[in-house]
């Protein structure tokens, strides 16, 4: 949801969109997951794969819960926007603490 809003605002897809969407598609189809994760890692870094994996896992879990309860919430999209904002904030804070080469 945050990427959709970002594309609408910026007029472009987020960085590494093709690799991110390929990883999501591979997980959904349960085939080629390793190759898709390696492709994303090749154009970014392993932390991007970790972030993407966490988000995919979150959505997979939420989807199962919502499907199980048969419930649809009109506020769910706005909650996803908040999750996206929290993730963006966490990435920013992490970038402040990141030191090249892992030296503290």
Name, in order, each residue with C-beta under 8 angstroms of 85's C-beta and a sequence gap of 6 or more: 2
Please report, in angstroms and rounded to a whole number, the separation of the first and last CA atoms in the chain. 35
- Per-residue model confidence as pLDDT tens digits over 1-28: 454 555 555 567 778 888 988 998 898 8
What's the confidence (pLDDT) of residue 1?
44
pTM above 0.85? no
Return d(Cα 23, Cα 49) in angstroms, integer: 9
CA 93 to chain centre: 17
Which two structure tokens, joined as six digits, stand for 42?
A: 């090749």
């Amino acid at each position: 949801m945050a990427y959709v809003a970002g594309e609408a605002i910026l007029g472009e897809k987020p960085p590494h969109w093709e690799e991110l969407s390929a990883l999501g598609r591979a997980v959904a189809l349960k085939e080629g997951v390793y190759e898709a994760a390696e492709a994303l890692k090749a154009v970014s870094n392993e932390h991007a794969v970790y972030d993407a994996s966490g988000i995919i896992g979150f959505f997979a879990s939420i989807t199962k819960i919502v499907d199980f309860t048969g419930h649809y919430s009109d506020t769910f999209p706005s909650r996803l926007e908040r999750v996206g904002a929290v993730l963006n904030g966490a990435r920013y804070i992490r970038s402040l603490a990141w030191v090249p080469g892992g030296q503290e």
